[in-house]
Amino acid sequence: MGVQGLTYLIVGLSFALYIGIALWTRAGSTKEFYVAGGGVHPVVNGMATAADWMSAASFISLAGIVSFVGYDGSVYLMGWTGGYVLLALCMAPYLRKFGKFTVPDFLGERYYSQAARTVAVICAIFICFTYIAGQMRGVGVVFSRFLEVEVDTGVYIGMAVVFFYSVLGGMKGITYTQVAQYCVLIFAFMVPAIFLSVMMTGHIIPQIGFGAQLLDAAGNNSGVYLLDKLNNLSVDLGFAPYTDGSKSMIDVLCITGALMVGTAGLPHVIVRFFTVPKVKDARVSAGWALVFIAIMYTTVPALAAFSRVNMIETINGPDQKGVAYETAPNWIKNWEKTGLIKWDDKNGDGKIYYATGKIEDAASTNEMKIDNDIIVLATPEIANLPAWVIALVAAGGLAAALSTSAGLLLVISTSVSHDLLKKNLMPNISDKKELMYARLAAGIGIVIAGYFGVNPPGFVAAVVAFAFGLAASSLFPAIIMGIFSKTMNKEGAIAGMILGLFFTSGYIVYFKFIDPTANVPANWFLGISPEGIGMVGMVINFVVAAIVSKVTAATPVHVQEMVESIRFPKGAGEASDH
């Protein structure tokens, strides 16, 4: 069976599994729809959380970022994994003790204010929609290459599958579907990494192969380490040394910090800790999530390096002088059809050459434009791995995108049905009606997300920076102060969220979209890039909140007592809507 046939088979089986789980776990109440009944085992929840977090950006793009930029890509690994340590230590058990369904619900109750709840809802919905647009587009890209359909058609198929199991099952269906999706995506990610590690270094564990010597043609140690080889190749072709960083220390610190606190402030991640039975389970669940995430994230640098070496040598040939287009590997021509690889024969010699164009040889002018996002998806083809591995990677990419899309859609639906309708506009609504509106909101959310997947807005490329910066500068400080400060009042929290939100979004919008030509270190505030500005927004949020709270009315006594009870989580904290 060929690659396309195997892809249809493996992807079809995985979709059948997801839909079957949705039917088996159909939600019958708002509690099951919002928090899976609050009875999910910590290990199961940790696996589902890992799948929820490891989106198309992690599966498809992260290794591509590290592969193309080298050392500078490490900020994403440190920030995204560090955020879970922060969650486990400072947030998960306390939020679970409080026992509300959603982040806006927590902020609305803690700050005794509908305005605080509304601001939080706006932040949550905006974060989720920016994320989900990229996920749906990722689904379309995977389908366009491996199933040979139009990108738009791929988006429609993804919409239908997500709609089915998220609207039917809610959090209950999503949780167990995400467990299956984690198994698919981690297997799909690790198999090519293990293949490449064995082929190139003789080590079955990619993390060990990453620091090992490469094998020669006879299968013996060549005496050349993988990273030395990659550094030499990069320099010879005019690229920066792979293991050197170009970012300033303050920018690295701020980007890592923004990703870390952004992770801890993302609503679709936080809501997962309401699905376990006890407070202790929330902390344990966060620990297991970190373990499951680390399996992929510690493999990313190895896969990125293996793939980079393979890609350069395949494109430029063993002598690094280029290969004739007619005899070029099939993977190049296959990916050309998607528009993610482009070849421009600038010197008319009929050869493909991949370099920066900065080295002296005039024939070395770069003729290849390669999208970072193809690395993981194209690696099995580049390395001539078996067809079933190529099909498996396609299924893994779809699992990653769909699992996160489902989690984001649940946040959108609960924010609308629970926080806006139940808590604001329609306080007397019945449980059955609330569940109906939750499903309706999820359906509308899928349609809107599909629209942005088919017609991606200009900011899709900046979704990660925007979403994390927004979460870091708006929701995270309000949550932390709500847990650890008895004196923080509603005026301070609301002022902090609004100013942090406006500063961060304004900074990113200006440099990313209004005047991209000005997006250089010399013009940045304190040399901090748009990707890291969320840290400054967070500081502004904290400072403004502290000042405003000092000059306004004190926090009511009953709220201070409530915070005291959150700080010492002795009970299970039954998740409820009242």
577 close to 520: Cβ distance less than 8 angstroms: no
Across 200-217, average pLDDT:
88
Condensed to tens digits (0 to 9), the pLDDT of residues 494-546 reads 999 999 989 998 998 888 778 888 888 889 998 898 888 999 999 999 999 99
CATH code assigned to 3-205+241-305+386-567 = 1.20.1730.10
CA 343 to chain centre: 30
Give the pLDDT score at 116: 86
Across 224-236, average pLDDT:
84
The structure tokens 């100013």 sit at 499
376 close to 303: Cβ distance less than 8 angstroms: yes
341 close to 377: Cβ distance less than 8 angstroms: no
Instruction: Label residue 37 by pLDDT band (50, 70, 90).
Output: very low
288 close to 43: Cβ distance less than 8 angstroms: yes
263 close to 84: Cβ distance less than 8 angstroms: yes
CA 550 to chain centre: 37
Across 559-564, average pLDDT:
86
Does pLDDT of 345 surpass 80?
no
Report which residue type is found at 365: T
State the pairing for strand pair 341-343/368-370: antiparallel
Condensed to tens digits (0 to 9), the pLDDT of residues 259-284 reads 888 877 777 777 777 777 777 777 78
Could you tell me how many helices (H) and strands (E) the chain has, helices first?
A: 25, 6
The structure tokens 């932040």 sit at 123
The top-scoring range by mean pLDDT among 80-94, 365-379, 420-434, 554-568 is 554-568
Give the pLDDT score at 463: 58
Across 394-421, average pLDDT:
74
Cα Rg of the chain, angstroms? 24
Rounded to two decimals, the pTM is 0.78
Across 244-254, average pLDDT:
85
Residue 149's SS3 state is: coil
Give the pLDDT score at 457: 53
Give the pLDDT score at 544: 95
Lowest mean pLDDT among 168-177, 197-206, 446-455, 480-489: 168-177
Give the pLDDT score at 22: 66
Nearest to residue 229, comparing CAs of 301, 310, 314?
310
Write b or e for each residue in 16-32: b if 16 or more Cβ atoms lie within 10 A of its Cβ, otherwise e: ebbbebbeebebeebbb
Beta bridge partners of 343: 368
Instruction: Label residue 549 by pLDDT band (50, 70, 90).
Output: very high
Across 318-340, average pLDDT:
76
Give the pLDDT score at 410: 73
CA 285-286-292 angle, 5° bins: 90
Number of CB atoms found within 10 A of residue 147's CB? 16
Percent of the chain with pLDDT over 70: 85
Region for 531 from its dihedrals, namely left if φ exceeds 0, alpha if ψ lies in -120 to 50, beta otherwise:
alpha
565 close to 503: Cβ distance less than 8 angstroms: no
Give the pLDDT score at 362: 41
Give the pLDDT score at 546: 94
Nearest to residue 546, comparing CAs of 472, 502, 485?
485
Q: When comparing pLDDT for 321 and 32, which is higher?
A: 321
The first and second tokens of residue 480, run together, are: 């932390």
Across 2-31, average pLDDT:
70
Contacts within 8 Å (CB) and 24+ apart, 152-158? 152/454, 155/450, 155/453, 155/454, 156/450, 156/454, 158/398, 158/401, 158/402, 158/405, 158/450, 158/453
Mean pLDDT estimate for the chain: 78
Give the pLDDT score at 499: 93
